Structures are given as C-alpha cells and as structure tokens.
Chain A
Amino acid sequence: MTAIDDRHLVDVRHVRHQYGKPGAGGQLVLDDVDLTLFDNEIVGLLGRSGSGKSTLLRSIAGLIHPTSGDVAFPKAAGQAPTTVSMVFQSFALFPWLTVLQNVEVGLEAKRTPPEERRRRALAAIDLIGLDGFENAYPKELSGGMRQRVGLARALVVDPTILLMDEPFSALDVLTAETLRTDLLDLWCEGRMGIKSILMVTHNIEEAVLMCDRILVFSSNPGRIVAEIKVDLPQPRNRQNPAFRRLVDQIYARMTQRGAVEGRRGDGVFPGLGVGMVLPRVSTNTLAGLMEAIHAAPFNGKAHLPDLAGALHYEADELFPIAETLQLLRFAELEGGDIRLTSEARRYAEADVDGRKQLFAQHLIAYVPLAGHIRRVLDDRASHQAPARRFRDELEDLMTPEDADQTLKAVTNWARYAEAFAYGESADLFSLDDPE
C-alpha cells in the first residue's frame, strides 16, 4: 500500500463507451478514459450515479466491450496471467444455492475437481468469517453476511485483481463499516492473495477511508477529472483533521461547475436545454433542504459535508437535491458550499400558496422542459397536449429510461406548483384544474 510497485496490472487506454445508436441519439457514458492499476494498491472510482464508473469497471471485468479504446492486462515475466473477479452491489447470489455452493460456483465453472473445490471454498469461507453458514441459503442471511458470501466467491478463484462495484452501499451504516474494516485488515495482512483492488463508490468518506488513490469522475459524459493520492497510514481515522481536509477537498472538487451540470444528450435542442436529464427529487425534499439551510445553524449557507452529516445523507443523495435547487436558481453551489438565493429564503418564509407561486415561476423560467410544456399548453386552444409527444421528443435526446424519469420529475414538480396538470389515464397534460 505504501510502497507502490511499478508493475502495471491493468492498462486502460482511450476508452470510450456509448449506449444506444452510434452517432447522434446514443448516450456517451465514458469519454477517453485512461487508467493504470499498479501492483499493491486500492484504487477508488468516485463519481455520481451515471458517471460511467460502473461501465469502466465492467469493461475491465470483460462484461462490456467498450465502443473504442483498449483494456489490456500486461504480462510480466514469470507471472501468471492477470485474472479478475468481481463483487456486486446487489451481492448477486444464486438464491437456490447454499452458501457453500455459491462460493464454489466460480471453481465449478473453471472445472476444478470436486475435492479441491470443496477444500478451497471452505478455506475462503473460513477466511471471510462465514464458518457455520455453509449450508444456509442466501435468503436466510443478513445483508452483511450475504456480501461476505459475495466476497468469498470472488476470492476463492484466486484473482489477481478484485473488482468491487459499490460493495457496501446496499448495507446499513454499521454493517458496512464492519465489512470495510474486515476487508482492510485482510488486505493489510496480505491474506487474500490479491494484488490490487479496484472499487467503485459514490461515498466520499468510504473512498478516503479505503483507497490509496481516488479517481474522480465527471458525469457529462464520464471522464476522469481528478486523481487524488491518499497517503494517510492505515488504519485511518475519520476524525483526523487530514482526513477531514481530504474529504472537504473532494466535496469541493465534485461540486465544481462543469462537474455538476446535468447530463445532456447531443440532440436537436441543445440551446433549449430540453435534453437535460433531470433527477426524480420530491418537492418535499427540496422544500426540506431549503428550510434546513435557511434555519440555524446554517442561516442560508452550508458546508456540504456538514450538511450531509447533519441531515444523515450520503453525499451522493445530497448532490441531486442540491443541484436541482441550483437548476431552479434557489441555491448556488461553490467550493463544497451551498448558498441559498434570496428567492429561496423568501420561499422558506412563505405560506403554502406563496411557496407554490414562487416554485411555479422558477420552474417555468429555469427548467427548460417545464417551460416548453407550458408554452405548448398555452398555445393550444384546447390547453391540452398528449404526454406521448414530449416523451418522444425526449427519447430523441436521451435513453427511454432517462426520458421517462425526466418527464416524471417535471410532472411531479408541475403538479406541486400547479403549473400544469397531468392525467394518467389519458396520458394528457393540461392547464385544467382537476375535476
């Protein structure tokens, strides 16, 4: 960990990946990404959801073939070829197999003889602390135990590199911390037989806690925007000032302009901004965040790590809310801080109707899709328009899932603001009040 060997385990060069149709219409998730993984290090890929970090991990795992670019495993003299193994966010255990059978699955695929299979699986189970659970089925286990099975299954095939895709994000806080510590102990003692770990995370503290190197991804499209070396000795202490400084620094890095813009498809209305993918953030959450920042102790301006701590939010949960406020011009994000605008402070003090009016004004003025729908409804004599039409328009600019999510987000905001109505059964937008 401290002494970084010069041996390259993985060389990723100029990797680009696009979903959907090549050329216009497709969505670029990775753009010209370079990465080198050295011997004896833990590297974290840190970024927002949709920043392509999972895609990069899957490219290295061989599950995805990037549209262009190379993923190479350089051969060193006298060394066995590099192999990889993966741990999944959702654990990905076969519910119909016992713990032992789940762990054996990779060896079985490699046609290892049954006796050796059993021996190695039991050794891995022992290593990872699952003794006694060999004959349990995954559904009988807690989340933490399930992820241990996932780890044992990945380690039993003796990989050179362990790939982990947000391995702790489906676990509760305490369980996740225990697993992290156990994993770090095994790593520091060199008992896992792996040369390197590459992990995807959206949790800044987790990255600083575990990694020797952190690569920060932007999300429009996925690019590596920063590489941060973590030289703190293990075991690391979250309360250590150096640790906090590093966390603050990464927060600031991730909230910089450019890294925060919504993803845009390159479509026909780039100027209009209709092609911006919007997150589904509830208006209650938006109002709640504005109130929280408006009130003491923040009084209109908050440091994001403090805010996340005070509200018990993960950074990744906080960012979409903060950015939606920024999009609506209710807040400004700068250097890891969030500051409410004067309108937002007015909103926080207004009554229900005042809030709705203010929200409606900002929604129509600053969210291009909302303004677009409203204009269409205003122009039509019937004041009605099928939602299908806007969905089609969005699908030209982004993937159908994103289009669906974006339209639902705008629909919910507009319903709250009473800017326009939506009837689910007729799939129709209208200016009418509900009957």
Chain B
Amino acid sequence: MVFLSGDRPGARPLARFLRVGVAPSWADLAAFLLLAATAVLIVRGAGEMSEPLSRLHTTPVTLEPRRLPEYALLTTLRMFAALACSLAFTFTVATLAAKSRKAERVIVPALDILQSVPVLGFLTFTVTFFMGLFPGRQLGVECAAVFAIFTSQAWNMAFSFYQSLRTIPSDLDEVSRQFGFSPWRRFVRLELPFATPGLVWNVMMSMSGGWFFVVASEAITVGQTTIDLPGIGSWLSLAIARQDLRAVAMGVGAMAVVILLYDQLVFRPIVAWADKFRFEQTASTDRPRSWLYDLVRRTRWMRLAAVPLSWPARALAAIDWPRPQLAPLRVSAATARAFDGLWLGLVGVGTAWAAWTLVAFVARTLDWGDAAEAFGLGLATLIRVVVLIALASLVWVPIGVWIGLRPKWAERLQPVAQFLAAFPANVLFPFAVMAIVTLKLDPNIWLSPLMVLGTQWYILFNVIAGASAIPSDLKEAAGVFGVRGWQWWRQVGLPGIFPYYVTGALTASGGSWNASIVAEAVSWGDEHLEAAGLGAFIAKATAAGDYGRVALGVAVMSIFVIAFNRALWRPMYRFAERRLRLD
C-alpha cells in the first residue's frame, strides 16, 4: 500500500506510548481482566452454539478461473464492510473516550491491549458465535469473517482518532466555542477534519494488515466442520488441499491485482485528498499525488461523476441537528469526586467479577500443566520472533538506509516495500511448505521465516522513510568533516532512522506474533508441518475445537506481546522521542 509517503507520519502510530503516566498500570490490569472475561463469555456462548455450524451448507468453492474475479470482489467487499464497522467503532468509542474522563480510564488501556492481542486465535469463537446469531445461514459466517477483519483494524484507528481529539489546537477550539458550534458542527468542521490525516494513515496500516486476516478467515475449520466462504482465501485453501500449484499461483496473482487496484483507485486518491486536512500553516512542497485524484479534479465530466460521491458528505455536514437544550450540569467538586469514586468502584467490581469468571473458567477446563506448557511454547515463539526481527533488521536496515539516501531509488522502491507489507504473506506459505517437504528440512527452524515473510517490509519501508528524512544539512556536515564508516552509522545514520526503525520493528514484531498462528502449523495437501510454539498450540487447539486451550493460548500470547511492548519497544520509543527528534 502506498502510505503517506516520505517522512510525515513517521513515528505517529506510536503516539500511544506517549500517554505513559496518564493511565496507571492498574488500569491496564483491569482492562486486561475485563477483556479476557468478555472473551471467556463469548467462548462459553460459542461452545453452546456449536451445533448449528454443522448444518450450514454454502455453495461450494470451485477452482474455475472464471469465478476468480467474483471471488476477488467478494473478498474486497468483506474488507470494506469491516472498514465501515471499524470507522463506526472509531467515531463512537474514541469520541466517548476523548469526551468522558470516566470512559477514558477504561477505553484507553483496553484499546492498548486489544492492539496487542493476536485476534487470529479468536476466529473459532467468533464464527460459532455469529453462526448462533444467524443459524443455518451464510450471513453468520460472513459476519464472522468481517468481524475478524474488524478486530484486526479497529483499535489503532480508534487510538489515532482519540489522540487527535485530545490534541485539537486550543485556538480552533476557542473559535468554535466562541461561535457557539453545536456538537455536530464541531465534529464535522473541527474534529473530523483535524483527525483525518492521522486516521487515513491508520486506516491504511489497518487495511494492509486486513488482507492477511481476510485470507485466513474465509476458510475456517472448527472441530469437524470446515466452512468455505466464496473468496480468494477459500480458493487458496482449496488449492492447497488439492495440491494444485497452478491454482495457488492464480490466487496469488489475483490477490496482487486486487491490492494494486485498491491502492490506485481507492487509497491514493484518498491520501491526496486528505492532504488538505493536514494541520500546517505553510503549503508543503512534496504533496502526495494520485493520478486518479488529479484526473477527477481536472476533467469536467469526471468531476461531475464524482459529485454524487461527495453529496452525502455535504448533506451530512449541513444537517442541523436540533440542539439538546440541556443546561450545563454544574456540580460541586465534592459531588464530582463522589461520582468519580462511584465509577472507580463500578470498574473495581467489574474487574473483580472478571477475575472470578476467569478463574472459574480456567479451573473447569484446564490445569497448571497446560498453563506451563503454553508458557514454555510462548518462550519458543518469543525466541523465534526476536531472532527473526533481529535478522530482518540486519538485512533491511543497511539496504533501507542505502535506498533512503538516494531519493531516486527511494521514490521507486518505497511503494514496492509498502505493497509487499500489505500483501498477505500467508498465500505464499504453500510454496515454502513444498520447499521444506521436498528438501526434508527441519520445520522447527525453517517454518520460522514464514513469520516475518510479510512483516519484514514494515522495517524496510520505515527505514527508507527515516533515511530520506535525514536533513540534508546533517548529511553535508557529515560529508564536510569526513564522517565515514562506523562513525557515520553511529552518529548520523542510526540516530536518524531510529524513531522510524522502532515504529517499523514494533509493527513487524506485532504482526509476527499474529502470523505465528498460521505460520507454525501449515499444510500442503496431506502434508502437515508443525513447529513447536505457541502459534501451533493455538492452531491445533482451534482445529480440535478445544476452546479452553485456544483461550489459554491467546491469553498467554497477549501477555507476551504486551510485556514485550512494555519492556522493549516503549522504552526505545520514549528514548527516540526524547533524544533523537530532529526538530
């Protein structure tokens, strides 16, 4: 995908780390318990609803090439349905968090944790849950797939929107208050436009992660039942089951075409358009461009054709919602404190209940041995992630810097790196499996690279962006004083790219944890390969319909990811913010 090119978004996705000190760690614990308990409730509900699953009959997916465009379209539609849900979620939940201090205390830590949870592990439950809502109908599975994509993209969007709402410039806030803007007008005139650039960037990050999930969620096996939704993901899984290499290749090609089209026809125009919302007082020189956007703006009939696209937005913006005639509620400090206390009490009770539910659930289905096993496997996966991110960094940091310092190359290769990051790597797994089977390699080692197959590109394109952003006066100074070799890396290159590298590596490591669920256990026809790790543990439990173990695996993985973020990425990011800012 082509993200806002160049340096602009930079370390932006990590703005969430800056809130350290706002929410105390007990809030994280409470949020974790509440979320885990909710998940357990869904699991239990899903367990009771598993029956209608077996009665589902969908149109079987076939490997006829002429159906491929249709499948591609369906897959894309699922993506957009999920995006719509994510936007709705973002506008409501993030607004609530920004406006209400009480809601903020729960929502913000919850979002932070949800960003780190490997949602892929939940696929099983959500499918059964939605099947229960729409028994015997394909709609349920569709909803589950959409929900899976939603869970992979909503959180960082909500977080970005929340951050924007909290950082509205105070003079614009005063203007809108001075003119007595209604809440709706404030939203469409001030809050939404101000948040748009950050939101667009996060939507693109989300979408590029989303392709991975859409592929994984279309063909789901729960216990004895396999459900195939018509789409590229199912096409691929069928092709893999039949060991049809030609079909796999066609699926991969279709995926590439879809992503390219979607980038050119949807996201580039949106990025070019969103540029006008950037909050800056001077016009920038390198504005993001899109041939489609330029075409629409320059050609009269195209502009006319685009009008219907914008009128719903205009109509919405022009709506005069009746202003609620509420007198501003003014409460004394003591009352406000009492309400705060009450709210804290409620959260406390909720957390206690959540803890009790968790203990009860875990005690019923699992014992300490399982927990120890999951933890041990988690360590194995942790080692894989660390080693692979380190290897990927060793490879891509020098290459990225080399490219980034050469504007011509950067301009050409940056979109390629971004495209590769968006490409769902799981569609390439079959080739790797074939190679491993043919060469009789050790899956414990050779399956591991699959985890970073799709995520390493985040490191590459962030490093390219960072190296391009090194100010030319610094480069010139380094040249004048003859700073070369290791000294150059230590004093110019590495500090310059560091904030960008951290952003990329964090995204890559988060993605790798998620990918481990599909990468540690793969198959090609009847060949099944498995590496010892938490991902394989979750995948196996899913296939066996063992809800308890899936929940355990996902919880342990979440804890690993959160601990990893807190212990490594957050300090690094804060260091970069404090010491290595170039402005």
Contacts and interface: CB of A to CB of B under 8 A. Distances in A.
Interface of A: 22, 58, 61-63, 84-86, 88-92, 94-97, 105-106, 108-111, 137-140, 146, 157, 424-425
Interface of B: 169, 171-172, 174-182, 185, 189-190, 193, 196, 276-283, 320, 333, 579
B180 A110 contact: yes
B193 A139 contact: no
Contacts of A97: 189
A63 B280 contact: no
9 contacts: A22-B333, A61-B178, A62-B178, A86-B175, A86-B178, A94-B175, A106-B179, A139-B283, A157-B179
A106 B174 CA distance: 12
B174 A58 contact: yes
Contact of A108 (B185, B280, B281, B282): B185
A61 B171 CA distance: 13
A95 B320 CA distance: 23
A88 B333 CA distance: 32
Nearest to A153: B175
A96 B193 contact: yes
A419 to B, nearest CB: 25
Given A63-B177, A139-B282, A109 B182 contact: yes
B179 A137 contact: no
Q: Which 7 A-B pairs have the closest CB atoms?
A: A92-B171, A106-B179, A109-B179, A96-B193, A96-B277, A139-B283, A92-B175
A111 B182 CA distance: 10
A29 to B, nearest CB: 16
A259 B177 CA distance: 33
B277 A95 contact: yes
Contacts of A63: 174, 177-178
B278 A95 contact: yes
A139 B280 contact: yes
Contacts of B278: 95
Nearest to B172: A92
B171 to A, nearest CB: 4
Contact of A94 (B178, B182, B190, B283): B190
Given A108-B189, A137-B276, A139-B282, 12 more contacts: A61-B174, A62-B177, A63-B178, A88-B174, A92-B174, A95-B276, A95-B279, A95-B281, A105-B175, A109-B179, A109-B180, A157-B179
B186 to A, nearest CB: 9
A114 to B, nearest CB: 9
Contacts of B333: 22
Interface of B is mostly: helix
B181 to A, nearest CB: 5
A230 to B, nearest CB: 28
Nearest to B181: A109
A109 B185 contact: yes
Nearest to A108: B185
A173 B87 CA distance: 47
B168 to A, nearest CB: 11
A331 B507 CA distance: 57
- Identify the interface centre among B174, B178, B276, B278: most chain A CB within 10 Å of its CB: B178
Contacts of B185: 108-109
B283 A88 contact: no
- Identify the interface centre among A58, A88, A106, A109: most chain B CB within 10 Å of its CB: A109
A22 B276 CA distance: 43
A95 B278 CA distance: 8
Contacts of A425: 579
Contact of B179 (A22, A105, A424): A105
A86 B196 CA distance: 27
A94 B189 contact: yes
Contact of B175 (A88, A110, A138, A139): A88
A137 B178 CA distance: 22
B276 A94 contact: no
A65 to B, nearest CB: 9
A150 to B, nearest CB: 9
A6 to B, nearest CB: 28
B232 to A, nearest CB: 37
Contacts of A146: 281
A244 to B, nearest CB: 35
Contacts of B579: 424-425
A88 B171 contact: yes
B332 to A, nearest CB: 11
Given A92-B171, A94-B172, A111-B320, A139 B281 contact: yes
A203 to B, nearest CB: 20
A192 to B, nearest CB: 18
Contacts of B193: 94, 96
Nearest to A140: B283
Contacts of B320: 111
A105 B186 CA distance: 11
B283 A86 contact: no
Nearest to A114: B318
Contacts of A89: 171
Contact of B171 (A90, A96, A105, A110): A90
Contacts of B179: 105-106, 109-110, 157
Contacts of B180: 109-110
- Identify the interface centre among B180, B189, B277: most chain A CB within 10 Å of its CB: B189
A72 B247 CA distance: 78
Contacts of B169: 90, 92
Contacts of A106: 179
A62 B280 CA distance: 27
Contacts of B189: 94, 97, 105, 108
Contacts of B196: 96
B482 to A, nearest CB: 25
Contacts of A108: 185, 189
Contacts of A109: 176, 179-182, 185
Contact of B174 (A22, A86, A96, A157): A86
A105 B190 CA distance: 11
Nearest to B186: A109
A229 to B, nearest CB: 29
Nearest to B283: A139
A158 to B, nearest CB: 13
A118 to B, nearest CB: 14
Contacts of A84: 178
A109 B176 CA distance: 9
B322 to A, nearest CB: 11
Contacts of A90: 169, 171
A393 to B, nearest CB: 19
A120 to B, nearest CB: 14
A95 B175 CA distance: 13
A424 to B, nearest CB: 8
A134 B390 CA distance: 54
A146 B333 CA distance: 41
B183 to A, nearest CB: 12
A355 B115 CA distance: 56
A377 B508 CA distance: 46
Nearest to A141: B281
